[in-house]
């Protein structure tokens, strides 16, 4: 019976981690979109506002992910491992961006409404970055 109980506990921890990651993603998206809109209203070009907003979203996601979602897998501050994790985190964000733009671009080329393509891209990019971060960036957290 003990292995079954352990398995159920592991599944629940995994579900909780995924829900916490969903929360972190929502906060990051809110930061990104909010700053983007503020900067647009302030007169910044759309491309620059988009870039600054996206970078703020990455920062918010790192802060929440490293302190809440994957806290058990974060390396000690000031170490090479922590620097490696930060670089991998940014790399995973860039992969998420590439997935998003590929899906939106392909959907648009096929005549799909870009908003629907973006919704699909959000789902795929979310799961892609979650898996990268869980199994590569914060690999100790997956144990």
Is the pLDDT at 142 greater than 90? The verdict is no
The token duo for 69 is 């979602």
| In contact, 73 and 140? CB cutoff 8 Å | yes
pLDDT digits (tens, 9 = 90+) for 2-41: 564 554 555 566 689 999 999 999 999 999 999 988 998 9
Query: Mean pLDDT in the chain?
Result: 87
Counted domains in the chain: 1
Enter the pTM of the model.
0.77
Tokens of 20: 């916490």
- Kindly state the average pLDDT of the residues 56-68: 94
What Å distances lie between residue 56 and 33, 69, 93, 112, 142, CA to CA?
9, 18, 12, 29, 26
pLDDT in tens, 70-117: 999 999 999 999 999 999 999 999 999 999 889 988 988 999 888 888
Q: Which domain holds residue 54?
A: 2-142
pLDDT at 143 (0 to 100): 44
pLDDT for the residue numbered 51 = 85
Question: Tell me, what's the pLDDT at 141?
Answer: 45
């Amino acid at each position: 019976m003990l292995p079954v109980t352990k398995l159920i506990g592991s599944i629940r921890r995994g579900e909780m981690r995924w829900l916490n990651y969903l929360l972190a993603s929502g906060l990051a998206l809110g930061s990104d979109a909010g700053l983007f809109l503020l900067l647009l209203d302030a007169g910044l070009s759309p491309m620059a506002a988009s870039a600054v907003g996206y970078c703020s979203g990455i920062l918010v996601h790192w802060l929440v992910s490293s302190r809440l979602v994957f806290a058990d897998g974060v390396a000690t501050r000031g170490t090479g491992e922590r620097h490696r994790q930060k670089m991998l985190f940014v790399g995973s964000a860039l992969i998420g961006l590439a997935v998003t733009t590929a899906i939106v671009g392909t959907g648009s080329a096929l005549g799909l409404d870009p908003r629907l393509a973006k919704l699909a891209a959000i789902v795929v990019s979310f799961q892609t970055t979650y898996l990268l971060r869980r199994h590569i960036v914060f690999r100790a957290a997956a144990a």
